[in-house]
Amino acid sequence: MTPTTSPSASPRLVSSPWSTATAGLLTREHHLTVPLDRSGNGDTWPDATPTLTVYAREVARAGTGATPSDPLAHPPLVFLQGGPGCESPRPSADAGLGWLGAVLEHYRVFLLDQRGTGRSTPIDHPGAGGDDAGTARLLTHMRADEIVEDCEDLRRALGIERWSLLGQSFGGFCTVRYLSAHADSLDRVQLTGGLPAVGRSIDEVYALTYEAMRVRSEEHYARHPGDRDRVAALVQAASRGEILDPHGQGVGPQRVRSLGSLLGASGGSDALHHLLERDPASWALRCDLVDSLAFTARNPLYAVIHESCWADGGRTAWAAERVRPAAFDADPTLLTAEHVTPQMIEDDPLLRPWAGVAQALADVEWPRLYDERALGASAAAGVSGAAAVYARDVYVPMETSLATASLIPGLRTWVTSEYEHNGSRASGGAVFRRLVALAGGTVLR
């Protein structure tokens, strides 16, 4: 779907009545029309500034004081999803609320489909902007800065004075941008595996994540010694074009090595081992391998704008490819995670049409996202919060996370090796409850 144009770029909100159709929950939907481009840098667009629709589902738990006649019993919180390029989760009380249930004990929650995803106006095909350059231009407005302004427009349209945030992974990057730009709109912030590298180059980040994946690969092979030979054989077969997806298309060696993304989640080592037990020529391997890859056409923006989300100024210029250590070239059994390269996009027949767009974005000179002085002043604006920093995180390095946390006076950190990057979800709410207690000063660091 392509953004529409409007003679007026003023936000417009349409909200539904509260519904009890989702068992045990009260929900209502919000559709907000916002300008695509708030950069104010003098760019011109044909006809008028394009607009997007941003969708949010508001959720309250029935039986906790919230009723259809009084659904506002709990204060508001916005959940900012990881990614980038992934829509917010869908709630189901029947299937078990898990981490969301823990949040609903304290808040009514806005599940935001970030611009370009889900039921917001999707940017899901490479021709959305007409040509590669036009689509790349659209995607320069899919970063944390514009996502935060969407949230601000929604807050104002709803008449909410201040609200809280829960940011997971990339959602934490958005949270730190929010603190940089609009701390006076915030009450409390909670971050899980999502403190960005403020004022640091993307090259530094990838050097750290490659080292984390080297360590994690060796740990996996120490636990499952036979898997090193299996991975070597699988990569060699992929190099010969012998590893196919369910549609008969080849899966290249760089994509195979990105199976290392499994090692960044709880239970991931066992999941990888069980995948590698399968016959490389089997239909089961074909299906399960593709389903296990981090970058797929299901959420193309995840691959195409991934490096952009890290850029706190400067060009990314295919950082994951540029800084790949020599050890990874010498040893094909060292696995990668969120390290997207031009070859990986070219090797995927469904992502290949995005190659020109991705190249254009790699050449963009990005503005800074974060303001250290504003972060330092956020506590004076009345914002408090807590962040879970995962000591073994292979996606968001602990080193840069703690450096960023030190810039935010009102943020208390909890460093833990008990959970992996998906700890907020895998813990069933335990991580969030710990952050609530930590932010409230009822537990020690």
Rounded Cα distance, 31 and 372, in Å? 33
Q: What is the pLDDT of residues 237-252, one digit of tens each?
A: 999 999 999 999 999 9
What's the rounded mean pLDDT across residues 87-95?
84
Q: Is residue 94 part of a domain?
A: yes
Domain with residue 51: its CATH number is 3.40.50.1820
- Kindly give the interhelix angle for 144-158 and 170-182, rounded to the nearest 10 degrees: 60
Domain match, 223 and 346 both: yes
Per-residue pLDDT of 187-218, as tens digits, reads 999 999 999 999 999 999 999 999 999 999 99
Domain boundary among 320, 345, 362: 362
**Same structural domain for residues 195 and 209?**
no
Q: Does any domain span residue 271? A: yes
Three-state DSSP state, 2: coil
Compute φ and ψ for 334, nearest 5 degrees.
Answer: -75, 120
Last residue of a domain, one of 340, 362, 384: 362
The answer on 209 and 187 residing in a single domain is no
Shared domain check, 267 and 140: no
The CB density around residue 352, as the number of other CB atoms within 10 Å, is: 14
- Domain with 296 in it: 202-362
Indicate whether 172 and 222 sit together in one domain: no
pLDDT top residue among 10 and 5: 10
- Report if residue 96 sits inside a domain: yes
DSSP readout, 155-186? HHHHT-S-EEEEEETHHHHHHHHHHHHHGGGE
User: Could you tell me the pTM of the whole model?
Assistant: 0.94
Shared domain check, 375 and 347? no
- Residue 48 reports pLDDT greater than 80: no
Length of the chain, please?
445
Average pLDDT over every residue of 427-440: 93
| Nearest alpha-carbon partner for 111 in 143, 73, 154 | 154
pLDDT above 60 (res 445) = no
**Residue 349 phi, psi dihedral angles, 5° rounding:** -60, -25
Q: Looking at residue 41, what is its pLDDT?
A: 63
pLDDT (mean) for 351-359: 97
pLDDT band at 263 (very low <50, low <70, confident <90, very high): very high
Residue 99 in this model has a pLDDT that exceeds 70? yes
Is residue 22 pLDDT above 60, yes or no? yes
47 and 195 housed in the same domain: yes
Q: Which among 34-48, 83-97, 414-428 has the top mean pLDDT?
A: 414-428
Q: Are residues 113 and 163 in the same domain?
A: yes
Of residues 443 and 8, more confidently modeled: 443
Domain boundary among 320, 336, 362: 362
- Residue 396, pLDDT above cutoff 60: yes
User: Tell me: the pLDDT tens digits for 141-200?
Assistant: 999 999 999 999 999 999 999 999 999 999 999 999 999 999 999 999 999 999 999 999
Q: Are residues 11 and 108 in the same domain?
A: yes
Going by pLDDT thresholds of 50, 70 and 90, the confidence category of residue 45 is low
Same domain, 149 and 209: no
- 187, 214: one domain: no
Once rounded to an integer, what is the mean pLDDT over residues 109-117?
97
Q: Give me the sign of the Cα torsion angle 217, 223, 225, 229.
A: negative
Q: Does 34 fall in a domain?
A: yes
User: Mapping DSSP to helix (H, G, I), strand (E, B) and coil, where does residue 386 land?
Assistant: strand
* pLDDT tens column, 274-313: 999 999 999 999 999 999 998 988 899 999 999 999 999 9
Asked if residue 52 is part of any domain, the answer here is yes
Domain count, the chain: 2
Task: Copy the structure tokens of residue 59.
Answer: 């959720």
pLDDT score, position 7 = 46
Given a cut of 90, whether residue 71 has pLDDT beyond it is no
What pLDDT was estimated at residue 92? 83
> Does residue 445 lie within any of the structural domains?
no
| Shared domain check, 301 and 177 | no
Domain assignment of residue 444, yes or no:
no
Q: Are the C-beta atoms of residues 317 and 359 closer than 8 Å to each other?
A: no
The verdict on residue 432 lying in a domain is: yes
The tally of CA atoms less than 13 A away on the side-chain side of residue 153 is 27
